[in-house]
Structure 1
């Protein structure tokens, strides 16, 4: 297992990679039974009922009917719908229970990438500086015992990222006003603490919106925040800038 740690006491973002060959997960089952590769493009977490997760999945397979049949037969699957099919790729929306995405979110982390190929599923989880990577890993493994932690990579956050000016400028065009408000209220209320000192329902009441909308705002805000960190190279920027 790759285990890379930063130097010094800088805040860090930790990347955890989990893999599994457990075919009770529909994407693993699909790539086990068919010659297919699966990539999850996006997902929406519901906070009602049994709290299912809707996945929007790109399936690389010449036989969409067989792919849909395999997905519908999964024990975690609630519904499957074919949205589009072109050449050898299908866009599928599927709703599943006992989702890894919900487990990761409950642990205070972010599910970054999910996919499956050749009978193996891979999930990449990003743990922000305010959360503990070991606690997140233990929580995920407790809820999903067949997921094996295969990689831990810790990226130091440079002072460039931590300066108020660079941070605000980088996020200015990334977050909507409501996403920023949801993230701020959740953070200030202690939503990301363990144990939690705030709930999505409490944030929803303050904002005058539904809990499900708050959940979507938080997920989108965290993903965009981390995109700023990774896609704009702020993790590896210069330390020469003086912190404000």
Structure 2
């Protein structure tokens, strides 16, 4: 299996055209393609730079020629949840006709869309990408083969992966930056490549302050790591 990550610019996509004109971002929570009507139904999270940006973006989206249905579920400040139905785009048609399939959520902002697309073999992937170039602009950001064992391991341990992801989200911005710089400078190496004084100078704070930030970040991460270890199923 070949997995391709693309930065896609579809000329007939309502979401992409909306982000071209308004400071809004779309993230797909769910999607379903109706092969009979050739329509894509999605539930999308929409985030605007401001409430006005969100309002104007939703207005433009609803009146787009390729938008068949746009229903607002919930809205709060600069974030909204919507359900949409759009006509099949050229890029969608090409990928489906060549046996490709979506492997990750859509993310659309600033006039382009991040696609995660899978193919059963490399030749099919090459042929599809060549056909896509006729009517679409895109950049292949990543391309790699997915082996069965790593895929199965990840699927078996999604709970552990979610726990580690939550650990990262619990870090404050200061803790995240401090931990990243400490690791980059070799603070955790043996012998140490950096001292607390060096880290303090990097952030222009006291030794005590940077030490507290490191310890808080370590506690949050290590607790979640231990929790994740308890749920891991060894597939070796």
2:40 and 2:10 mapped to 1: Cα distance? 21
Tell me the equivalent position of 2:63.
Answer: 73
Asked if 1:30 corresponds to 2:18, the answer is: yes
Asked if 1:85 corresponds to 2:75, the answer is: yes
Over alpha carbons, which structure has the higher Rg?
2
1:130 and 1:37 mapped to 2: Cα distance? 32
CA drift of 1:122 comes to 2.5
Tell me the equivalent position of 1:60.
Answer: 47
CA drift of 1:37 comes to 1.2
Which segments of 5 or more consecutive residues in structure 2 lack a partner in the other structure?
158-233
Check the 8 A contact 1:20/1:122 in 2, yes or no: no
Tell me the equivalent position of 1:231.
Answer: none
Check the 8 A contact 1:115/1:122 in 2, yes or no: yes
CA drift of 1:47 comes to 2.2
Of 103, 113, 126 in structure 1, the residue corresponding to residue 118 of structure 2 is: 126
2:25 and 2:99 mapped to 1: Cα distance? 29
Task: Give the ranges of 4+ consecutive aligned residues of structure 1 lying more than 4 Å apart after TM superposition.
Answer: none
TM-score under structure 1 normalisation?
0.53
Tell me the equivalent position of 1:107.
Answer: 98
Which segments of 5 or more consecutive residues in structure 1 lack a partner in the other structure?
1-11, 172-237
CA drift of 1:83 comes to 1.1
* Cα distance per residue 1:102-147 (max 9 Å; x no partner): 54233212222322212222322122348721122234344xx123
Number of aligned residue pairs: give it: 155
Check the 8 A contact 2:105/2:115 in 1, yes or no: yes
Check the 8 A contact 2:19/2:57 in 1, yes or no: no
Tell me the equivalent position of 1:15.
Answer: 4
